[in-house]
Amino acid sequence: MINTAFPSPYLPVVPLINSTSPSLIASFSKTNHRYATSDQSQSDAVLDDVSCIVGCTRSSLNVVAAEKGVVVGRLIFSDNGDMIDCTKMGMGGKAIPPNIDRVGDMQSDALYILLVEKDAAFMRLSEDRFYNRFPCIIVTAKGQPDVATRLFLRKMKMELNLPVLALVDSDPYGLKILSVYGCGSKNMSYDSANLTTPDIKWLGIRPSDLDKYKIPDQCRLPMTEQDIKTGRDLLEEDFVKKNPAWVEELNLMVKTKQKAEIQALSSFGFQYLSQVYLPLKLQEQDWL
């Protein structure tokens, strides 16, 4: 039983955690509605703190986030005993289970895992069935990485022993998203061993790609002062400094003061990403 003598922000989740058992799973959204907490980010922060205080992982509290991440491609796994074939999940893919303990029996003939930042890029690759021409598993958290997607990605990496290639926007925040998957977030550093996926490769979109693939000027965006500051701050981070090629790319970004989204590739056609850009990248093994 968790002591209820917590500061007031913690009170909404304490009764919920006390009531949970291995056979009872509660979601963040239920936490918010049941205890009139309108801001899920507040619930996130409180659960992180409670996990740290109690000395356990957040998933072991049996309070999980609503499904956010999705996966598609050459992966078969069991979800609470049901076998799921991710080649048969349609364009939207299979929602990643919020409780990683439900997941097991992973099987795949893929050559790599393609980690995609944006949902639009994921949908494009899924609709084009990119995974049939280039055997892969495609996964996205639709932006900022959530806990369930990070756990699922790590489990795939550990069990299937496949390289993870990241496709993110060419801006400092794309690289920060990559770093959360690879190194963890500061607010959940206590659980980094369970959440991080080591040795993720930066496939694109990289600053050098803007000229290499002749991205039109109208599709390049000027970096704001905050963007530039974030880029310079990233140059001081260990996960960047340990990879000289990443340092070179980030220096180029800060120097040119240009950024671009994955969607910039669609200026050459909707299928340019799946028919030209990624095939060239993979055939040339152009990742860092």
The per-residue DSSP string of 138-197 comes to EEE-SSSPPHHHHHHHHHHHHHH---EEEE--BSHHHHHHHHHHHH--GGGGGGHHHH--
pLDDT of 34 > 50? The answer is no
Looking at 44-48, 96-100, 256-260, which range is the least confident one?
44-48
pLDDT at 190: 44
Which of the four pLDDT bands, split at 50, 70 and 90, describes residue 184? confident
Q: Are 223 and 258 in contact (CB under 8 A)?
A: yes
Domain 8-64 listed as CATH 1.10.10? yes
Q: Average the pLDDT over 229-246 and give the result.
A: 94
**193-219 as b/e, with b when 16 or more CB fall inside 10 Å?**
ebbbbeebbbbbbbbbbbeebebeeee
pLDDT of 283 reads 96
Please say if the pLDDT value at position 281 is more than 70: yes
User: Is the model's pLDDT at 114 over the cut of 80?
Assistant: yes
Q: Where in the chain is the domain with CATH 1.10.10?
A: 8-64
For β-strands 221-222 and 258-259, DSSP reports them as: antiparallel
> Can you tell me which residue has the tokens 């609470």?
80
pLDDT of residue 183: 86
- pLDDT of 196: 87
Q: Do 14 and 2 form a contact (C-beta atoms < 8 A)?
A: yes
Question: Is 215 or 39 the better-scoring residue by pLDDT?
Answer: 215
Q: What is the reported pLDDT for 212?
A: 96
pLDDT digits (tens, 9 = 90+) for 60-69: 555 555 568 9
Is residue 46 predicted with pLDDT exceeding 70? no
Mean pLDDT of the 162-185 span: 92
CATH 3.40.1360.10 region(s) of the chain? 70-283
Look-up of token digits 């919920």: 16
The stretch 241-251 carries a mean pLDDT of 95
Counts of helices then strands in the chain (DSSP H, E) = 14, 13
pTM of the model: 0.78
Distance from C-alpha of 77 to C-alpha of 86, rounded to nearest angstrom? 8
The HSE-up count of residue 273 (CA atoms within 13 Å, CB side) is 28
Query: What is the CATH number that goes with domain 70-283?
Result: 3.40.1360.10
User: What average pLDDT does the structure give for the chain?
Assistant: 83
Q: Is the pLDDT of residue 189 over 70?
A: no
Q: In what order do the strands lie in the sheet with 82-85?
A: 82-85, 76-79, 103-107
- Binning pLDDT at 50, 70 and 90, where does residue 14 land? low
Average pLDDT over residues 192-219: 91
Which alpha helices (DSSP H) does the chain contain, by range?
Answer: 14-19, 28-34, 40-54, 119-127, 130-133, 147-160, 172-183, 192-195, 209-212, 225-234, 238-241, 244-256, 272, 278-283
Please determine, for residue 38, whether its predicted confidence score (pLDDT) is greater than 60. no
